[in-house]
Amino acid sequence: MSQTDTQGPDMVLLSSPSLGEVAVSVTISETHADALQITSHPVEEGAQISDHALRQPCEVTLECGWSNADQAAQEAAAHEQVENGQLTRPGYVDAVYSRLLALQASRMPFELVTTRRRYANMMITSLQVSSGSPGAVQVNASLEEVIIVPTRATTLPPRNVQASPAITAETESMGSKSVQPGNPSPGGAFSSPVMEA
């Protein structure tokens, strides 16, 4: 899976915004940050030189909200008591907030879908929640991409086919060794200087 999906708006517009499995009811604002780090090296004379650029992890800040009056809340709680178009207890928004906290606590990368882009391997770095009423919740979420690289184990070839086995061979256990006292250097043993009064 690619790190970010920028193949065109059609793929994103077919999906509703979501943080992992948590569908976003209302998106108030989105901030997308993409950056490069350009390396620079001082040289003996002249200006610093730049010869490489590294892509930094994408960062997204979302301001979004949920309400007990959302269609999803109403469908989930069709059997619960409703007064004046509102649920009598704020269970839906509490469940959404709990799911966001669990998503953050899992420390596992997930897919983020916004109104602009689709991101893979994102994690929630911070959640800020404000609630004007018990039946609604507004969340400010900061997310950052986790750049995952594959790793693999390998074995080195045998010592007898290496050009410089003293430098490139694997470390070997040579067994236990005992400490040998050293011989004095030529000219005698080292003595501490005598202080004269």
Any domain includes 141: yes
Place of tokens 């969340």: 139
Q: Which residue has the higher pLDDT, 16 or 111?
A: 111
- pLDDT greater at residue 197 or residue 40: 40
**Under 8 Å CB-to-CB from 90, ≥6 apart: which residues?**
68, 134, 135
- Asked if 180 contacts 99 with a C-beta cutoff of 8 angstroms, the reply is no
Overall domain count for the chain? 1
* Average pLDDT estimate for 127-133: 86
* Choice between 191 and 21, residue whose per-residue pLDDT is larger: 21
Does some domain include residue 173?
A: no
Residue 170 lies in a domain: no
Residue among 64, 63, 62, 65 at smallest CA distance from 135: 65
Q: pTM of the full predicted structure?
A: 0.65
Q: Would you say residue 4 has pLDDT above 70?
A: no
CA angle 122, 118, 1 (to 5 degrees): 75
- Top-confidence residue, 98 or 82: 98
Domain assignment of residue 113, yes or no: yes
- Parent domain of 73: 4-36+54-145
CATH no. for residue 138?
A: 2.40.30
Whole-number pLDDT of residue 142: 97
Which range, 5-9, 31-35, 75-79, 80-84, is most confident?
31-35
- What is the pLDDT at residue 162? 81
pLDDT of residue 89: 52
pLDDT value of residue 3: 47
pLDDT band at 95 (very low <50, low <70, confident <90, very high): confident
Average pLDDT, the chain: 80
Write out pLDDT tens, residues 152-182: 988 878 888 888 877 877 777 778 888 777 7
Residue 12 located in a structural domain: yes
Mean pLDDT in residue range 91-118: 92
Within-domain flag for 152: no
158 in a structural domain: no
User: Residue 168: inside a domain, yes or no?
Assistant: no
Distance (Å, whole) CA 102 – CA 27: 21
